[in-house]
Amino acid sequence: MAGKRVAKFQTKKCAEIVYGDDDRISRLPDDILVDILSLLSLKEAVCTSVLSSRWHNLWKHIYRLNFDPHVSLQKGTQQGFESCKEKRKKKFQKDVNRWINFAIVRHVQRLELDLTTGDSSRYNCSLPQELLTKNTSSEIDFKPLKVLCLKSVDVTEEDIKFFQSKCPMLEELVVDRSLKLLNVEVCGGPFLVLKHLELTRCYNLKSVKVCAPNLTSLTLQKVECLLLENVPRLVEVSVCRAYSKVSTTVALSAFACCDFQLEILTLEMKGFE
């Protein structure tokens, strides 16, 4: 219930006069309008540019890119996207950096970052380089990390090396849709506790070298060169979209020459000729 009105001094006619019918939403300041636009889909936010001159550029300040997965993202979206891309990208990257920083300084054990947005997954972010190179800094401690899952994040070879050296407890590493990943090397002695490795939809991936004594499961997609060494515990291997002959033969020969107790081997052969 409303608070008890102690006294009523005058009616509120003035308010009605000040806010006439003609400026109902215009009296909201830009930052509130941007808040509202940020809740709309990108398409609808851009659409507001035609309302009036004040709205012409407002949508470019939205801080959330909200794609509608049901709308096909064709040329138009690209176009709209390009318009605010640079600015948004900077802002977005800043957010990502903040999230990761936030998580790491709080000693998370499981860090999952999924930036996949419908079909428009070309908008990847990188990992915060300043965080990754600040390896001497005492407050940034990656040690507790056990699970790292990065989707649609531009993870590089160097990033993977970095996490390997900084996260001695890392048991699970998942990278999905990083176009910057070319050659991956996950190698270590008995102290490498990594159990699960998953590299999917990294379409530029050329070679993978794994030498991990505690590894139990490995998931790969479209790999051209695979080298497995010292994987005595590997029991589950899955190669999705192994449709290229190269991938399959490479994969099979790599597994064959390894002396291990494989229990499950999944080869997704869709489109195999």
Partner 1 sequence: MAAETGTPTTLTLKSNDDELFSVAESAAILSVTIRNMVEDGCAGGVIPLDNVDGKTLASVITYMNGISAIPADEEKKKSYRDKFLSDKDFETLADMVLAANYLNMSCLMDAVSAKIAQVMEKKSVGWVRRKFGIENDYTPEEEAAVKEEHKWTFEGVETDDDN
> Applying CB under 8 A, which residues contact partner 1?
1-10, 12, 14-15, 19, 21-29, 32, 35-37, 39-41, 43-44, 46-56, 74-77, 79-80
Neighbours of 208 (CB within 10 A): 24
**CB nearer to partner 1: pick between 3 and 271:** 3
Q: Least Å distance between CB 85 and partner 1?
A: 14
Q: Least Å distance between CB 100 and partner 1?
A: 24
Q: Least Å distance between CB 131 and partner 1?
A: 28
**CB nearer to partner 1: pick between 12 and 270:** 12
Token pair 């070319």 is at which residue? 182
Q: Least Å distance between CB 73 and partner 1?
A: 10
172 close to 195: Cβ distance less than 8 angstroms:
yes
CA distance 113 to 149: 6
**CB nearer to partner 1: pick between 47 and 113:** 47
Q: Least Å distance between CB 86 and partner 1?
A: 17
- Which of 55, 3, 58 has the alpha carbon at shortest distance from 35? 58
Q: Least Å distance between CB 152 and partner 1?
A: 23
81 close to 46: Cβ distance less than 8 angstroms:
no
**CB nearer to partner 1: pick between 4 and 270:** 4
CA distance 88 to 64: 8
104 close to 128: Cβ distance less than 8 angstroms:
no
**CB nearer to partner 1: pick between 49 and 219:** 49
Q: CA 85, 90, 96, 101: dihedral to nearest 10 degrees?
A: 180
SS3 73: coil
**CB nearer to partner 1: pick between 119 and 268:** 119
Which CB contacts under 8 angstroms, 24+ apart, belong to 82-86?
A: 83/46, 84/59, 84/60, 85/123
